[in-house]
Chain A
Amino acid sequence: MAEMKVVEKIMAANDQIAEQNRRLLDERGIVTVNLMASPGAGKTSLILCTVEALRGRLRVGAIEGDTASRVDADRVATAGVPVVQINTGGGCHLDAPMVRYALNRLPLDEIDLLLIENVGNLVCPAGFALGEHVNVVIASVPEGDDKPYKYPGMFSVVDAVVINKTDLLPYLDFDMVAFRELIAGLNPEARIFEVSCKTGEGIEAWADWLAGMCS
């Protein structure tokens, strides 16, 4: 019997395909954002608001990850956005092969900014690279200000945190200062955007940030 040193990162297969996806996206000049959040935090709403805010400036495409339905893809398609729905069949995250499948079905020549709605879940999506350039987590005010304590794996890897549903702040005891302090301590490079997809407040700054990356 012998022990053999291996030291190989698990999920290397996914990472390889993610790298191919990224190369394809780079060739086409498409900036790609992986949007992650709990169920109902406002991923689809944010995509719709972003499309409106960037209309005439950037052409947005979308990939909608969902465990079962087509509801979100239909909402986005109605806004005139080229979209591919991926049903994970109960799976808790998108992976790189699923995104490759979607990229093969999108009109890449007509897209400047690709928004990927990951499956509603704050755990698994953080571990699976898709080929994206930017990782974003949406935390909504009703979920409470302690989310980073529970999901440090997610909050420590993202490039931006969007705090959605700020219109509800007056009704809830969400401590914005404490929340921002947690993010800053864990991940000081992360940009923080406070938005309301309902009133539109804060959407412009978020959309401008995305547009800045596309130029």
Chain B
Amino acid sequence: MHELAITEDILRVAVEHAQRAGAQRITAINLVIGDLSSIVDDSVQFYFDFLSPGTLAEGAQLHFERVAARFRCRECGQEFTPQDRDWRCPRCQAVGGEVIAGKEFYVDSIEVE
């Protein structure tokens, strides 16, 4: 549901940067989205198709770079990718860890002409 607000913000960021650079048109927007940020790509695309016409980003391609969740074990420092229902450290079996990746959510770059 909240992809609408998010897509508005993606569009705002992209257009502001393109305008500042004096670009005519945005051809692509490259997004980095962590798996823990609970953003649905298709839904962002849907709202983008709806919001972008008439802006500098009309017709731009959205590229989604997904970042998997990573934990760092609080007991032994091992970094690992948590599984659905198994958050045990593969080295020492402690449960969970500090989230070191997976919460990313930003516009990495835009392609303009």
Contact = CB atoms under 8 A, between A and B. Distances in A.
Nearest to B38: A123
Interface string A62-99: 00000000000000000000000000001111010000
Interface stretch (A10-18, A46-54, A107-115, A207-215): A10-18
B38 to A, nearest CB: 5
Q: Which of B1, B17, B27, B105 has most A Cβ within 10 Å?
A: B1
B37 A127 contact: yes
B51 interface: no
A153 B36 contact: yes
Nearest to B106: A9
B5 to A, nearest CB: 7
A27 interface: no
Contact of B14 (A3, A6, A14): A6
Contact of B2 (A7, A91, A156): A91
Contacts of B105: 9-11, 127
B9 A11 contact: yes
A124 interface: yes
Interface residues of B, number: 40
Interface residues of A, number: 34
A149 B85 contact: yes
Nearest to B113: A1
B12 A182 contact: no
A23 to B, nearest CB: 22
Interface string B23-62: 1000100010000111000000000000000000000000
B74 A10 contact: no
B108 A6 contact: yes
A56 interface: no
B36 A152 contact: yes
Interface of B: 1-2, 5-6, 9-10, 12-14, 17-18, 21, 23, 27, 31, 36-38, 69, 74, 82, 84-85, 87, 94-97, 99, 102-103, 105-113
Pairs A-B, 5 closest by C-beta atoms: A185-B96, A92-B1, A185-B95, A186-B96, A124-B2
7 contacts: A6-B108, A9-B105, A10-B9, A10-B106, A12-B13, A123-B38, A185-B96
